[in-house]
Chains A and B, each alone.
Chain A
Amino acid sequence: MNPETENRGLKRVAIDPLTRVEGHGKVTLLLDEENHIHQARLHIVEFRGFEKFIQGRPYWELPVVVQRLCGICPVSHHLAAAKTTDMLVGARELTPTADKIRRLMHMGQVLQSHALHFFHLASPDLLFGFDDEVRHRNIVGLIEDQPDLALKGVRLRKWGQEVIRVTSGKRIHGTGAVPGGVNKSLNREERDYLLQDVDQIIDWGRDAVHLIQRIFLSNPEYHRRFAALDTHMLGLITANGGLELYHGGLRACDPEGQILFDQVDYLEYGGYIQEQVRPWSYMKFPYLSALGPERGWYRVGPLARVNNCDHIDTPLAEAARQAFATAGGERPVHASLAYHWARMIELLHCAEAARDLLLDDDLSGTELLNNSDLHREGIGAIEAPRGTLFHHYLIDSDGIVERANLIVSTTHNNQAMNESIRAVANRYLDGRVLTEPLLNQIEVAVRAYDPCLSCATHALGKMPLSVELIDARGGSVDLLTRDTSGRFHGGAASG
């Protein structure tokens, strides 16, 4: 029992680990004597060692090696490292060919990541309800009930990965982005290969937006209330306030949608964002410096980006954004489950933007690199599928990384995820009984954020799920375990 917890007379509920989020997590719920949730703690351990993994390596290796930080979004780290090393080699601007190839790669990455999350993780919850039997409420249940929808999800993801393969040179461990640019352009045949399916991809993206919009508005009050929070929101933005995923200034808005700061050069991120360390978590807690750690926490990712922007520069996604904004009325849309809706708007945008890029002859240009003198410090930021991602390196005169700092997307959402868990648990927890439905509700709340728990390893035999209820004296009141074959032991499941 945590001494802090024991001294304050709180009970602890531990849920370990989550399922169907990337990697492993553990949830602890701290109860007061009236069985209200005093605090929720989502423990994420797999971000340990990122900076150490980078330190001591030559900077030119980083765009390739950082892909191994995360098997779910390696391209985001690839591009963030490339942007950071651009600065190290003095490439203040990329050639049009390099810039557009990187953007196309990024569109493919975001599209396939969003497709995986929506079609394979979230849609079973949304289509079948949060209380559906676990054995059915998954992608296989989706395929059985709606085979065409599931196949679309597979094909969308596959197309996004083909974009990555063509632009980065390989299906995984790609080398396309290098310090100062890219190492290859696209020829006509490669562009035609991707173009042959792009209209179909756009159609499916539009269908996905309609599907999630219909689901959300079919029970609007429920979806608005579930795990809902009023928060600040942060993300990159174009110079004229448009949605931006690859390169732009920072914009932060308050819960009413009022702009707190705008067009901030991300090189200055240290002056606007600070990180708080808490003794119980390996993951830090970022906050807006001007507001302090108590009031300054915020959300990033699709919900923040679609709320924060004034427009989207592709027509179908812009129409979808307007419908989304209408659902919020005069305020931003704060519903955590609206992350899914925003995610599909971005998927549609990525498909449209990819088509525009594929039709641009700059993709086949021959000017690939820009560089000048070596600099000692580099900072790169990108909007990864899950939110803003910062890489920051200091190198020595030989080009070896001396220090590195990363703020990954899931870290930005750390406090918000805890608050969403608390909101859900307060609503559904019976003080002394742990149940599968409660577990499901917590998982649905966390899953809305699409957290990347670093997707550490997937080695066979490593997926148990257990829940423990501990009273104020440290004694175990209840234990619920879901084993690797999906069977429940103990807890309410045994009763």
Chain B
Amino acid sequence: MDPPRILVLGYGNPSRGDDALGPALLDRLERIQTQRPGWEALETLTDFQLQIEHSLDLDHREQVLFVDASLSGAAPFEFVRLQARRDDSYTSHAMSPSALLSVYREIRKTAPPPAHLLAIRGERFALGEAMSPAASDHLEAAERFVVDWLERCLSHPPPRS
């Protein structure tokens, strides 16, 4: 049986300040999912960091959204369409979503599903720190945006590219 056609993959360490932005947004989406009809086609997945085996989670998806904290992006968030692309961020702790799409293409010998990145601006990332007030504001804005985006995706599934 195929998995839900839309995957939202949020990553970060919940105990490292604003690094929690990705998992925090997914917590909110999971709560909303229980109350909204039609959201059964959504699957959420969290992890500490993006790793190469996540390429296998992209199988049979129609749309994928990566959610991460950003140290240098625009506030409150940036939303960009991703292309599968080799880059030099192939570190074990910093694999980029574009690189993951590239890995998918290489090991599956087919195009990856359409994918976007939501990069929510954070400020502080030390162990044990709480989320900063600014990041909390950014999280609110990101949630409003993603809920609208998901509603559109779920009601009008995009064609595979």
Residues of A whose CB lies within 8 Å of any CB of B are 19-23, 46, 48-50, 52-53, 65, 68-69, 71-72, 74, 116-117, 120-121, 134-135, 138-140, 143-144, 147, 150-151, 153-154, 157-158, 161, 171-172, 454-463, 482, 484-486
Closest to B108 in A: A151
B92–A461 contact, CB under 8 A? no
- Expressed in whole angstroms, the minimum distance between the Cβ of A133 and any Cβ of chain B is 11
User: Which among A120, A140, A172, A462 is the interface contact of B46 at CB below 8 angstroms?
Assistant: A172
A69–B68 contact, CB under 8 A? no
B69–A20 contact, CB under 8 A? no
Question: Could you list 8 examples of A-B contacts with CB < 8 Å?
Answer: A68-B15, A71-B93, A121-B92, A140-B102, A158-B53, A459-B12, A459-B19, A461-B73
B15–A20 contact, CB under 8 A? no
Known: A460-B69, A486-B87. A171 touches B92 (CB 8 A): no
Q: Which residues of B contact A23 (CB under 8 A)?
A: 93
Report if B155 contacts A (CB, 8 A): no
A158–B90 contact, CB under 8 A? no
Known: A120-B52, A150-B106. A20 touches B68 (CB 8 A): no
Q: How far is the CA of A262 from the CA of B67 in the complex (A)?
A: 49
A116–B92 contact, CB under 8 A? yes
Q: How far is the CA of A150 from the CA of B106 in the complex (A)?
A: 10
Q: Which residues of A contact B103 (CB under 8 A)?
A: 139-140, 143, 154
Q: Which residues of B contact A463 (CB under 8 A)?
A: 89, 91, 94
Q: Which residues of B contact A46 (CB under 8 A)?
A: 127
Q: Which 4 pairs show the lowest CB-CB distances between chains A and B? A: A486-B88, A71-B48, A461-B72, A68-B15
Q: Which residues of A contact B102 (CB under 8 A)?
A: 140
Report if B152 contacts A (CB, 8 A): no
Q: Which residues of A contact B46 (CB under 8 A)?
A: 172
Q: How far is the CA of A460 from the CA of B122 in the complex (A)?
A: 10
- Expressed in whole angstroms, the minimum distance between the Cβ of A326 and any Cβ of chain B is 32
Q: How far is the CA of A482 from the CA of B107 in the complex (A)?
A: 28
User: Which among B14, B72, B87, B125 is the interface contact of A456 at CB below 8 angstroms?
Assistant: B125
Q: How far is the CA of A455 from the CA of B99 in the complex (A)?
A: 19
Q: Which residues of A contact B125 (CB under 8 A)?
A: 456-457, 459
Closest to B19 in A: A457
Closest to A135 in B: B88
Q: How far is the CA of A52 from the CA of B13 in the complex (A)?
A: 17
A157–B53 contact, CB under 8 A? yes
Known: A154-B56, A457-B19. A135 touches B86 (CB 8 A): yes
- Expressed in whole angstroms, the minimum distance between the Cβ of B16 and any Cβ of chain A is 5
Closest to A19 in B: B91
Report if B71 contacts A (CB, 8 A): yes
Known: A49-B127, A69-B127, A484-B89. A460 touches B70 (CB 8 A): yes
A151–B107 contact, CB under 8 A? yes
B70–A456 contact, CB under 8 A? no
A-B contact count (CB 8 A): 141
In B44-79, the 8 Å CB interface with A consists of: 45-53, 55-56, 68-73
Q: In the complex, which of the residues B48, B55, B106 has the most CB atoms of chain A within 10 Å of its own CB atom?
A: B48
User: Which among A52, A121, A458 is the interface contact of B49 at CB below 8 angstroms?
Assistant: A458
Q: How far is the CA of A158 from the CA of B57 in the complex (A)?
A: 10
Residues of B whose CB lies within 8 Å of any CB of A are 11-16, 18-19, 45-53, 55-56, 68-73, 86-94, 96, 99, 102-103, 106-107, 119, 122, 125-128
User: Which among B56, B69, B92, B107 is the interface contact of A457 at CB below 8 angstroms?
Assistant: B69
A458–B88 contact, CB under 8 A? no
B86–A140 contact, CB under 8 A? yes
Additional pairs, 5, CB under 8 Å, beyond known A457-B13, A458-B94? A71-B49, A135-B86, A139-B52, A454-B127, A462-B94
B107–A456 contact, CB under 8 A? no
B68–A22 contact, CB under 8 A? no
Known: A158-B53, A462-B71, A463-B91. A68 touches B13 (CB 8 A): yes
A65–B107 contact, CB under 8 A? no
Q: Which residues of A contact B69 (CB under 8 A)?
A: 457, 459-460
Q: Which residues of A contact B128 (CB under 8 A)?
A: 49, 52-53
Q: How far is the CA of A68 from the CA of B72 in the complex (A)?
A: 24
Q: Which residues of A contact B106 (CB under 8 A)?
A: 140, 143-144, 147, 150
Q: How far is the CA of A457 from the CA of B94 in the complex (A)?
A: 8
Q: Which residues of B contact A71 (CB under 8 A)?
A: 13, 47-49, 93
User: Which among A22, A134, A140, A151 is the interface contact of B93 at CB below 8 angstroms?
Assistant: A22
User: Which among A121, A154, A459, A462 is the interface contact of B107 at CB below 8 angstroms?
Assistant: A154
Q: Which residues of B contact A157 (CB under 8 A)?
A: 51-53
Q: Which residues of B contact A22 (CB under 8 A)?
A: 92-93
- Expressed in whole angstroms, the minimum distance between the Cβ of B124 and any Cβ of chain A is 10
B88–A134 contact, CB under 8 A? yes
User: Which among B16, B71, B86, B92 is the interface contact of A460 at CB below 8 angstroms?
Assistant: B71
Q: In the complex, which of the residues B16, B68, B73 has the most CB atoms of chain A within 10 Å of its own CB atom?
A: B16
Q: Which residues of B contact A161 (CB under 8 A)?
A: 53
Closest to A121 in B: B92
Closest to A151 in B: B107
